[in-house]
Every structure is written in C-alpha cells, then in structure tokens.
Structure 1
Amino acid sequence: MIKRYYCFYFTSERVIVMAISALDKIDMNKFVYGDESFNFIPAPYVLNSPADQNDFHNTLIHIQQHKNPKISRDKYLKRLSMVETILPDQIKTAQTILESPKKNAKSWSSNYGTHGWHRYVGRFPPHLVRALLNYFQADSNDIVLDPFVGSGTTLVECRLLGIPAIGIEICPLSAMISRSKSQYTLEMADYLPELIAEFEEFYKTSWANFIGTRDLATVSYEEIIARPGNYIEAFTNYEKWFIKEALLGVSIAIEFATRLNGNLKDLFLVALSSKMRSIGNVDVDVVRAEYSKKPREKVDVLDLVVKQLKKMRKSIIDSYMSHSDFILDKDSIKVIENDVLQVNDIDNESISFIITSPPYGVEAISYLRTHLLSYRTLDHFLGVDPYKFGANVIGSEYLPSEVPEVTDFEVAKISKTYRDFFDQVLKNNLNKNMKVRTLMMMKFFEDMRKVAERFQKWLKTGGKVAFVIGNNKIGNTIIPTDKIISEIFQWYRLDLIKSINHKLKSNNSNSKVPWQDRIIQDEFILIFQKAG
C-alpha cells in the first residue's frame, strides 16, 4: 500500500489540497494552527479510503485548521477529527485512542465510545460532528444546540470535548438514548458490576418462581402477560413477535428496571432496547420492524442484556480515559424531550452554534415504527403508541392524503425555488403515494421555515449553524432541498457561508438504510452565520 501524506497550501483566494505519495518523499504534510504548522498522519480510514472519499476527507481535515486560534495548541491538536498522530511528538488524538481503528480500516467506525450503544437509523457520523465543532472552535464557554438530536451524536461529541450542549428530541425512546449516551458517569461504571449481579439474581429468582417445575412450553402467552410484576401490555400479534422464552425474559427485565432511577434506569433500558432485534422475531436487515420468516428458537435475554451492560461499562471507562483532558460533568449536557417548535425554555441569543440533521430521506420509514418492539415493551416508561404519536414528528409519513395549494404555506412567500418546484410537480398526474409524499415535503419545508425563525432568535449574533440535509426525490424528480433551505435561512438573516456537497457514508450497520440511495440523491453540509 502506498501511504499518502497531506499538505495544505494557503493562497489569497483558496486552499489547494494535495495528496502526496510517500514515494515522493516530500515532507509537506502540514496542519496549520495559528502561526505554527505540524506534520500529521491521517487516520487509517483516510489513507485507505476509496478514491471517491478523498475530497470529502480532505475538506473535513482542512476546515479544522485556523490562522486565528482561540483554543490552546496542545489541547486543540488532541481533539482533531480524522487525524491519527501529530508529529514530531507522536501525539495521538483522543478520537484515535477511543476509536482504535485498525491499520487496514477503509471506513470510519461510528460506534466508538458510547455512540454504538443503540441501533439508530440515519444518524450522522461523529467524525463529521467533531470536525464541525473544531471548525467552529467551540469550547467550554459556548453552548451547542442540536434541535433534532435523535440518538445523541452531537451531544456525545460535545460531552467528550467538554462543550456544554442542549439536545431537543420529540421521540421518547430517542430522548432516553441521548440522555443515556451523553450523561454517563464514572460512578455509574463503577456500580455496574453490582447492578449486573443484582439483575442476574433477580432474573433467575423471578424465572424460577414463575415457572417452578413446569415446562415453559406448557405455559401460555396469556399467563406470562398475567404474571405478577409484568408491565408489558398485550398488543396486537405479540405472540408472533416473541417466543415465550423471550417474552418472559423481557417482562422480568422490565420489572427489574422499575426498581432503578434516573440515568441508571435509562442506561439499563437502553441496554435492553438495543438488543430487542436479537430478542424478538425480527428481520435484523430490514429497517422497519417486520416479522422474521424464521422465528428464533432460543433467546437468552439475561445473557444478551448482561453482555451489553458490560460493553457499555467499558465504553464509559474508555471515554473518560481517552478524553480526560476535555470531558465535563454530565450536567453540561441537557436533553429537552419536546417538539422543537414548542420549546420555550431556551433563552434568546444564548446559543453559540447549532449542529443538526433534520429528518429527511428516511422520514417515510418513521423512526418510531423502526423501534416498534422497544416502544411496545417499554410502554410503561415511554407511554407512547408509535402508530398514534408519529403525526407529531417533523418529516412524518402520517399525513392527510389531500394536497393543498403551494401558496397555502408561508414558506412559499420567501422561497422562489420552493414555489417554482412544487408548482411544477403539482402539474403532473400524481398517484396517491406521490401526492402524500409531495404534501410531506411541502409541510417539511414549512416546518423548516418555523425552525429557521427559532434559530434566528436562539443564536448569538455571529453564531453559526451546520445543517446536514439531503436532496430527496419525488418519484424521479430531485428536490432542490439545499437551495430551498438556503433561501429560507437567508430570509431570517442566516447567511450561507459554506456548502460541502458529499454523499455521507458509514460502515456502521446501525445507520445503513438499504434503499436510501433511491431516496437521497446528494447530501449537503450547509454552514450559515447569523448576521449582525
């Protein structure tokens, strides 16, 4: 393998990025920070990546350079993203220590630290978030907001780098995952072995007390639901979703969770929820929860949850050890469980930076129904019916089938691209599904208008927004999402200062969507700044 080194040449108008073969033996791989420049070795997945990733990787590394630094050199170099080592002092970045990529890695892992605690469709790579935080030079004096926090990628990166952050999330399960992944403590890690021992004893005792000398095969599903201490309500076709062994195991685990409180309860429930696709009769390769063609034969809920708790404990310890120079107290992270359009407890001009990716492309899949079994079995804690709650979610598929006029939405008054595009689309003879999708996208942009209005209020003057968005399709027609969003934001004095166009890729099975290429044409990282 030919090793590539990287060099950045600054000119008065632009940056020229060059990939130089090690065979050239030219020592020009420099990273510029202030008045100094440093040799560096990129992460293995940068060196080994396919050619179509080179420009994107180069860009993400480049935007982390600063001629006017505000963070101390030694601290900043350690928090770099996608960089393995700073030379000549052989300084390993905190991300490299935590991620520990193999030398032959061809793609990044989105599961380092607490990021990999739970399967979550559509989450963006933590490497991107870290690069953006470094581009903004966000530090402990700032507050970062993610108004569509999902499973908490932005919050986890902010926690690791010692940056106070707020996440807003309407879906209860997602909010719980975000809290758990970002509000862990070393004390929790220290207590987990004791918790595991308590859970094992409780599980085995509860199982023995209920089954006694009976064969589980002779026990009915109704008896398991009627078991004293069970909190799972019978739901449609529950006997198809779980074999008896699995249903009883989940029931006992949930009963144990009722004895826990706070972040420890969240952590335990996330561990259980994360294994739900290995517990239920679910096709693991299908994003929506669907019956598996071959029901599971043996399911050991105790073993699955205990192994997950042990992995989670290790990732907490690893996070603290690798990021000891940065990490702040768990109270530096706040999760607001609400609709971003209904939140009223964020002060005006209190937010330094916003990093987010609203629901797009996979919105028609419905995040809630993707985690159907978690919502059904954890209903005692979450209190949500995924078939009724979805209408409140931005980008939801739960919409009326009647298509309104383009001008019925306020966004039509401020975005010419929106007007022109949807006027043309509605002239076509759309089938029922296309009509619903058209309405979904029209409403999505109206919601984005309301979101932009809130961004303008919450951001400090000069504050920046990183908005990751995809150009969806209606049928075979590409929606110019980036242009519409830019026009909306501009209306609210949020000026576009940078646009990065790339198809985000991940080797993380937790975020792959098999048919997403048919939905998303291009993805953009749009950077806006609030005008004075």
Structure 2
Amino acid sequence: MTVGYEIVCRLKPYIQPFERNLALKELEALTGAVPTPETAVDLSTDSLVYRVMTTQSPTYLADRLTYWEQLYPDGNPFTRQLTRQVKREATANLVRNGITPEQLQAMLPFQQEVPLPNRRNLRYGPHGIHEYRGKFFPQLVRSLLNIARVGPTSLILDPMCGSGTTPIEAVLLGCQAIGLDLNPLSVLMSRAKYASLTIHPDELIKAYQSLKVELFQAAAPSTHLPWLESLSPQDQDYLSHWFAPQVLAALDPVAIHIKNVKHPACRLLFQVALSNILRRVSWQKDDDLRVRKEIQSDREIDVMAEFLSELNRSVKTILALLYENQEFPVGQATIIEGNARQADQLLADQRGRIDAIITSPPYATALPYLDTDRLSLCYLGLLSRPQHRQRDYQMIGNREITERQRQLNWQEYQQRRTELPAEITRVIDLIDTLNRQAEVGFRRRNLPALLARYFLDMRQVFQTFLRLLKPGAPAYVVVGNNHTIAGGQRVEIETDKLLVQLVSQ
C-alpha cells in the first residue's frame, strides 16, 4: 500500500525571482505534483509557503530540496524539518575567527538551534575555498539536478567545470560526476574540493596542525629557494617581475612543506590555500581583471600570516561541512584536464551513458580566465609561462588573439558561416560592418572574429553533448548576455537566445 504525505514547504525568504521558479520546478519534479500556495497564517505569508501531496517522504524531500528552508509534514508547525541544504549553508556562519575544530565538532551536525542564513550563501563547504571569477551558483546546480530527477547511480558531466561547482554538488547529492577543464588551476581546484569531501576530519586536523608546527619551526628565509629553483628559468624570471624578492623567499618554505604533506587530499587542499594568497602578496593590482602591476615599496607583506589565515579559514570551512554531512555519503568524481570540444573523444567509454550535463561555459570574450590565474599557474608549476598563450588560444571564449589569428578566425568564419544560424551571423556581420565604418581599438576590431570562433566552438561542444548523453537525457547550459559598442551604436549580444538557435539548428 502506497503511503501519501501532505507536506507544507516554506521557501527561503531571500531568494530571487528566477530562484523561486526553479524552486517550484524542483519541488514538482521530486514530488510528481504541482505545489499550491498555502495561506495558513500560522506558518508564514502565502508567497513563501506551498502545499503539496506526494508519496515521497518528508525526509527524502528535506534531503534533496535546494531553495526551500523548512518542511511541515501534515502542515503541523510542531513537526518542522529543516532542509539539508539550508543546514549546509548554515555551516558557513560558524566558521569565524577564534572557533576551534573541537568546537565545530561539538556543534555539528546541527540538532535544535541552527543559525539560518538571512541572505544567499554561495560559499559553504568546498564552495568557500579559493576565489574564482565567474563562479557558478551551487544552488542553481543542485536545483537543476533535482529537476533532472537524478539519483545515486546517475552520471553527471560538466565539460567546462571551472572551479568544480557541478561535480561538487553532484557528489553531495550522491551522484557520480565527471568534470573537464582546460585550465590546470581549475582542475587543481576541482580535484581539491572533491578530495576534501573524502577526508576524515581527524586526518585533516592532524595534517593541518602538523603543517602549522613545521612552518613555525622552519628556518628563516634564505637565498636558497628550492621550490622556486625547481621551476623553469622562464618561470623564475617571470615570477621575479611580479613578486618582491623577500616575498618569494617567504613563499618557498610554505610551498616545500606543502609538497611534503603525505595525505594526498590534504596536500591538494593546502596547495589551493597557497594559490589563493599569491595574487594578494604579489605586485598585481588585486581588484583588477587585467594584468596591471602596482609596486608599493612601503607595503609590508607578512606571507606566513597571510597563508596561515587562509589555511585556517579553508580547513575550518571544510571541517564544518564534513561534520554536518557525516551521515550522508558522497558520490565519486573524476576531474580531467581536457578540451570540451573533444569531450566525446576524451570520454569515449562514456558515450551514451551521461544522465545529465550541467555547465556554465565562458561567456563570449567576457573574462580573461587563464590570465587571471597566471601567477598560480606559474608558481605552482601547473603551466609554464611560455605555454600560456597557446593554452589561452585554445580556451572557449578567449579574447586574446594576435592580428594573424584574427585574420585566420575571420577567414574560417567566412568559409563556415553556413553552419551557424542566421541570427548569429547577423549579429557578427553587424558588429563587423559598424566597426569598419569607424576608428576602433584592437579589442573591438577583434570582436567579430572572436564571436565567430566562440559560436563555432560551442557548436562543436553541443555536438559532443549528443554523443555523450543518454537518449532523452537533459543538458543545462547557463550563460550570461553581453553587449558592445560598434561604430558608436550599442549592439546586444544575447548569448542565451543565440545558443538556443545554434542548438535548434
């Protein structure tokens, strides 16, 4: 006999309109029923509360839902259940200066008192380590996984995984995940974030405390820098132009001691903590997307203090989630360095086996992803500086090309323009025509060729989707729109609509 449940669900009060739409869709997908607004004044306002009839248990829904804060089985306010998602987000509120790992362990998992977030929280658990430009919202990924109705045996792919948001949310839901990215730092971050979910808290605390002791006991910085000297001469020279000599001397023992950490997952996490301070302690302007140097001779930089602060915050952020999540198994993730345009070749054994693709590709010419990470790529030995330009050119959405590359891209577009929908070629040709009629700088002159290449690249990516997905399986592509000024005229680049046209074709 099938058991039915009548459940009242309360939305998070601070979500955006698009998130409310996703919330209703995920609730309907998981329950198989259309939620109806609830007007019971003893619970909340009717705009936040919905009632649903379902055969799914309240516990199942509390474990799965994303944008919902509380559930009331039978509509009874005394049977309240908080969602697992809101508890995970609440762990970030505990990670503050002064709290110890022992205190975190005593407070988690949450029992009665939960410091519910009063605003959107995107930086809980692994999502809270390392800055990343253009980071995907983890709640968006989780809601799409729910809408796709995936389960523990499902295989999820993100072929442009960036900082690893999709693989992390997939494994937190118990799924299996594959992430792909051309940026070696993205690969490192994604691997570190996943690996951090597999560490036993006691092992992480032990490795963390051991590293701190070793760094405090380390000899004073010297002229012998074994880590720096292990890098290529080109990288050593490049780094010397972006870091003060005393900063490189102070970074060296940190890098060496991290290298010697025995636990692989802890070592990855500590490497990412080091990566996240490199820009701060360098001569690069910290708040600028472009590569600009700002030497401040009177600025004192305490590298050890910066690193230990970052390490402390990262470790406690992970510990808090591990303690809260200890009764919920995570899935397995594989992170691969590779080109999304070749995903079907790199994952040939997964053709026709992917249950869902969730990805947020780079926006056309919007962010210099690889250049933003160049200090970490060089210092951590992930990608030598002489290789950056070639790798950058391979990146989808790249905006840095030479005049020769611009000409080759434009020539290829002219030869292949029939492969693109008329809506796309119309925008590209309009921007090119307007720019030719005016004196413009190199970036605007490059834009038509870059857009042409972007859409041709995305066409190839979408073709790999068809080969990798199971028949009827969904793919979710999250993009942002852009605009440019061409010949003094504003031209909208509606990437979302244009990619829909590309897929439809």
Q: With the length of structure 2 as denominator, give the TM-score of the two structures.
A: 0.78
Name whichever structure is richer in helix by fraction: 2
* Larger displacement relative to structure 2 (117-126 or 198-207): 198-207
- Cα offsets for 1:388-427 (capped at 9, x unmatched): 4211111112332326258535463351212322233332
Q: Which residues of structure 1 form unaligned runs of 5+?
A: 1-33, 47-52, 212-222, 492-532
1:291 Cα deviation (Å)? 2.5
Residue type at the aligned position of 1:98: R
- Cα offsets for 1:236-270 (capped at 9, x unmatched): 56445323332112111222233246333321210
Secondary structure at 2:230 match in 1: coil
| Cα distance change on mapping 1:207 and 1:71 into 2, 3 Å | farther
Alignment check: 8 A CA contact 2:227 2:252 kept: no
1:401 aligns with 2:406: yes
Residue in structure 2 matching 1:315, options 317, 324, 327: 317
1:310 Cα deviation (Å)? 3.0
1:277 Cα deviation (Å)? 2.8
1:426 aligns with 2:437: no
- Cα offsets for 1:268-316 (capped at 9, x unmatched): 2101001223322333222345323535733333333333333333333
Query: What's the counterpart of residue 371 of structure 2?
Result: 369
Residue in structure 1 matching 2:459, options 449, 457, 460: 449
Residue in structure 2 matching 1:184, options 196, 208, 213: 196
Residue type at the aligned position of 2:21: T
Alignment check: 8 A CA contact 1:406 1:422 kept: no
Query: What's the counterpart of residue 59 of structure 2?
Result: 74
CA–CA distance in structure 2, aligned partners of residues 125 and 375 of structure 1: 24
Q: Which residues of structure 2 form unaligned runs of 5+?
A: 33-53, 94-114
1:357 aligns with 2:369: no
CA–CA distance in structure 1, aligned partners of residues 319 and 18 of structure 2: 32
Residue type at the aligned position of 1:480: E
CA–CA distance in structure 2, aligned partners of residues 125 and 70 of structure 1: 30
Alignment check: 8 A CA contact 2:62 2:83 kept: yes
Query: What's the counterpart of residue 254 of structure 1?
Result: 255
1:45 aligns with 2:14: yes
- Cα offsets for 1:29-77 (capped at 9, x unmatched): xxxxx9655323322423xxxxxx3x22321211112253897552233
CA–CA distance in structure 1, aligned partners of residues 153 and 298 of structure 2: 51
- Cα offsets for 1:486-528 (capped at 9, x unmatched): 122123xxxxxxxxxxxxxxxxxxxxxxxxxxxxxxxxxxxxx
| Cα distance change on mapping 1:284 and 1:146 into 2, 3 Å | same
Secondary structure at 2:316 match in 1: helix
Query: What's the counterpart of residue 340 of structure 2?
Result: 340
1:158 aligns with 2:183: no
Alignment check: 8 A CA contact 1:406 1:419 kept: no
Query: What's the counterpart of residue 300 of structure 1?
Result: 302
- Cα offsets for 1:351-404 (capped at 9, x unmatched): 01111111115x45311211222122112x444543442111111123323262
- Cα offsets for 1:127-152 (capped at 9, x unmatched): 11111111112111211111110000
Query: What's the counterpart of residue 378 of structure 1?
Result: 380
CA–CA distance in structure 1, aligned partners of residues 125 and 288 of structure 2: 25
Residue in structure 2 matching 1:390, options 389, 392, 400: 392
CA–CA distance in structure 1, aligned partners of residues 358 and 250 of structure 2: 39
| Cα distance change on mapping 1:410 and 1:71 into 2, 3 Å | farther
CA–CA distance in structure 1, aligned partners of residues 472 and 370 of structure 2: 36
Alignment check: 8 A CA contact 1:149 1:168 kept: yes
| Cα distance change on mapping 1:139 and 1:104 into 2, 3 Å | closer
CA–CA distance in structure 2, aligned partners of residues 313 and 454 of structure 1: 37
| Cα distance change on mapping 1:148 and 1:461 into 2, 3 Å | same
| Cα distance change on mapping 1:229 and 1:382 into 2, 3 Å | closer
Alignment check: 8 A CA contact 1:438 1:474 kept: no
1:230 Cα deviation (Å)? 4.3
Secondary structure at 1:427 match in 2: helix
Q: With the length of structure 1 as denominator, give the TM-score of the two structures.
A: 0.74
Write the mapping of 1:52-71 to structure 2, written as runs, cut at 5 A.
53=16, 55-66=17-28, 67-68=31-32
Write the mapping of 1:87-236 to structure 2, written as runs, cut at 5 A.
87=72, 88=77, 89-100=79-90, 107-185=119-197, 187=199, 189-208=201-220, 210-211=221-222, 223=223, 225=225, 230-232=229-231, 233=233, 235-236=236-237
| Cα distance change on mapping 1:327 and 1:319 into 2, 3 Å | farther
Query: What's the counterpart of residue 483 of structure 1?
Result: 497
Alignment check: 8 A CA contact 2:194 2:333 kept: yes
| Cα distance change on mapping 1:151 and 1:334 into 2, 3 Å | same
Residue type at the aligned position of 1:340: A
Secondary structure at 1:334 match in 2: strand
| Cα distance change on mapping 1:357 and 1:411 into 2, 3 Å | farther
Alignment check: 8 A CA contact 1:275 1:304 kept: yes
Alignment check: 8 A CA contact 1:44 1:105 kept: no
CA–CA distance in structure 1, aligned partners of residues 143 and 318 of structure 2: 22
| Cα distance change on mapping 1:419 and 1:281 into 2, 3 Å | closer
Alignment check: 8 A CA contact 1:143 1:352 kept: yes
| Cα distance change on mapping 1:398 and 1:278 into 2, 3 Å | closer
Alignment check: 8 A CA contact 1:166 1:335 kept: yes
- Cα offsets for 1:189-244 (capped at 9, x unmatched): 32233323443444345433x54xxxxxxxxxxx455x588435554564453233
Residue type at the aligned position of 2:18: F
Write the mapping of 1:7-26 to structure 2, written as runs, cut at 5 A.
none
Secondary structure at 1:398 match in 2: coil
CA–CA distance in structure 2, aligned partners of residues 243 and 406 of structure 1: 44
